[in-house]
Amino acid sequence: MHSTSFSAQNLTKYFVSASRLSRSVKQHIRAVDDVSFEIHSGETLGVVGESGCGKTTLARTALLLTPPSAGKIFLNEKELTNLSPAQLRAMRAHMQIVFQDPISSLDPRMRARNIVMEPLSIVPDKTKAEKDEAVAEIFEKVGLNPEHLNRFPHEFSGGQRQRIGIARAFVTKPSFIILDEPTSALDASVQSQILNLLKDLQREFQLGYLFISHNVDVVRYMSNRIAVMYLGRFVEIGDAREIFSHPLHPYTEALVASVPKLSPRNRSKPKVAGETPSPIDIPTGCRFHPRCPYAQDKCKTEDPQLTEVEKGRWVSCHFPL
Amino acid sequence: MSDELLHVDSFSICFDTLDGTVKALNDLSLSIGRKEIVGLVGESGSGKTVLGLSIMGLIPTPPGRIVSGRILFQGTDITSLGQAGMENLRGTGISMIFQEPMTSLNPVYTVGNQIEESIKLRIQRNSEEKTASKESVRREVLEALRLVRIADPERVGKRYPHELSGGMRQRVMIAMALAAKPALIIADEPTTALDVTTQAQVLQLIRDLVEEVNASILIITHDFGVVAEIADRVDVMYAGRIVEERQVADIFEDPKHPYTQGLLHSLPYLKKAEQRLETIPGSVPSLIHIPSGCPFHPRCKYVMKECSEVEPASRNVENGKVACFLYGSDR
């Protein structure tokens, strides 16, 4: 199998909102701000960040579900950002998404069979029988009972519904999948079933994953490489094992320090004060400086660039740890 | 236990619905000592919120129906207090912090007003304090905000809930609960809606406050991480029962009940990418159709013949109790 890849170059998404006081004053929400990444087949890039950092906008923009304000997207070196809607539609079979909430992302009036079959409508030259076969095959692969194909979403448990969402994403045999918080709505015992399933499917189909989550433990477990996102930017990228054991960016350090340790004799101490500011008023200079325990004068004025400090290790900080 | 503040004694409650009787809590016993932080962990649908609401006397009857048992708070059975009696206890005796501070704060009053309300309530109920001046109440509001580490209480007190961040709103909720000076605070998923860096700050705050304000806390959560960070003792719930009750360090180092073991081992914490996560087959049972015998037996890898026939009573293990036939005989 030849190697495939999905990449984003300087991807940016601004939303414009009118000010509450005056319609003529426009405010820019910089949800995703100059983000670049590349994912190879069989590889998982994890994106971790807190609410409002732009994770979901990144997912939607990367798949061109919403047009980017700037930047380019490539699938197997073919640029997608300059395609016509019809051409893009034909490419969609190769890139799919699994959403967070398995209740609102499944149409309650469609049977499981039709939900999973729907994406096949963009795959050309498939007979009805072939489609039925593809659906039954993937249904079983994700651990669902093919006898339940005619059931409606409400007849499944939360974990099973997420399996339907996964089957729907995999049925077109894509080469790249975005998983946007795929287990956040699930209980712990079900979460582990889904994470194992996603790993098995990746091994079998050699897919590239962009795995988005706010849960540091889940991202660390699932990913080869991890990008830490803060206010629309990647502030640090590195090997999944390295990045959390030896963080270079103060925000990564704070994030790791805040994660509960499951070790009551060794409780964690919060490293940062305050909360993520609104993406409407992004701080000047380094966007983390108001919360950073190590901030110096330079950090208030100069915006640090994401630079490669070791092979494969990128950080945007004037004074990396 | 002489310094026991709350004792839930073989308490069972069910709800009559059109689909059948939901047996939400079944012969459940739990106790909380003074200045103790007890963590109550369970997955969704295990009945943990129903327990919290039962202690607060907030379960509407009907559809709720107390089948058996008592809830003793400072020695009094609060299930027999009735509406008026319970109302006197809420706030000043037992207070509750909810998961989503945005929906539990009143959007049309400033947060200062809302904290004031709980202070006035306390003063009104406490005969010794009856003569509080406006000025002293105002001072106490600022004090309450300072207690929850809000840096600029004068300014924040004048804000409306929507003007505050999620973490600040949860601090305000905690300030409101504390201002009434309750002996017991029930915190139902107090950090679930918060980001992890904010969660760490709020958990640290709760930990520090127990030292300062002399209250006990029952913290209800689905997250073992939260329990590890804050609790002294842990109760694990499954299908409306407590299946294991242990000191916090023991439950993480040596979990006894197969359900607790399964849950802890299913977490990706510290797992290597090559390792598979352990799973618990199946899913949490509906509380309408609870399996016979031990409710966990259909999912348990150590299941024995008796497990499906008889429900195991809870038995003593090192620093706690566990309801499982693997550990000795009934107590």
pLDDT tens profile A160-190: 999 999 999 999 999 999 999 999 888 888 8
pLDDT digits over B89-130, tens only? Answer: 888 899 999 887 788 899 999 999 999 988 988 888 876 666
The Cβ of residue A304 has, within 10 Å, a number of other Cβ atoms equal to 21
pTM equals 0.88
Q: Is A209 helix (H, G, I), strand (E, B) or coil?
A: strand
pLDDT digits (tens, 9 = 90+) for A257-298: 999 888 888 887 777 777 788 788 889 999 999 999 999 999
Tell whether A20 lies on the interface with B, counting CB pairs under 8 A: no
Q: Report the amino acid identity of residue B153.
A: P
User: With an 8 Å Cβ cutoff, are A262 and B252 in contact?
Assistant: yes
Q: Where are the beta strands (DSSP E) in A133-262?
A: 176-180, 208-213, 225-230, 233-239
**pLDDT for B46-57, tens place per residue?**
999 999 999 998
Q: Considering only CB atoms, which chain A residues are within 8 Å of B165?
A: 275
**Residue among A72, A154, A79 nearest A111 (CA):** A154
What are B250's two structure tokens? Answer: 């023991």
Q: Looking at the predicted structure, is the pLDDT value of residue B331 above 60? A: no
d(CA A109, CA B143): 54
B214-244 pLDDT, tens per residue? 899 999 999 999 999 999 999 999 999 999 9
Residue with tokens 């709103």: B169
For A277, nearest residue in chain B (alpha carbons): B165
Phi then psi for residue B319, to 5 deg, are 55, 40
| Interface touch A254/B278, C-beta < 8 Å | no
* Exposed / middle / buried, residue A204 (Cβ in 10 Å: 0-12, 13-18, 19+): exposed
* pLDDT tens for each residue of B124-163: 887 666 667 888 889 989 989 988 888 888 989 999 998 8
Q: Which domains does chain A have, with CATH numbers?
A: 4-223 (3.40.50.300)
**d(Cα A33, Cα A61) in Å, to the nearest integer?**
11
Q: Do A270 and B167 lie within an 8 Å CB cutoff? A: no
CA–chain centroid gap for A114, Å, is: 26
What residues contact A179, with CB distance under 8 A and at least 6 apart? A97, A98, A198, A209, A210, A211, A212
Cβ within 8 Å, pair B204-A270: yes
Q: Is the per-residue pLDDT at B27 higher than 80? A: yes
Which element (helix H / strand E) includes B9? strand B4-17
- B228:A220 CB<8 A: no
**Helix (H), strand (E) at residue B5:** strand B4-17
Instruction: Count how many pairs of residues, chain A against chain B, have C-beta atoms within 8 Å.
Output: 122
- Of A195, A214, A271, which is closest to B277 when you measure between CB atoms? A195
Residue B223 near residue B266 (C-beta atoms within 8 A): no
Which 8-state DSSP code applies to residue A52? Answer: T
pLDDT value of residue B149: 83
What does B210-279 look like in DSSP terms, one character per residue? HHHH--EEEEEES-HHHHHHH-SEEEEEETTEEEEEEEHHHHHHS--SHHHHHHHHHS-TT--TTSPPP-
Interface check for A202 against chain B (CB to CB < 8 A): the answer is: no
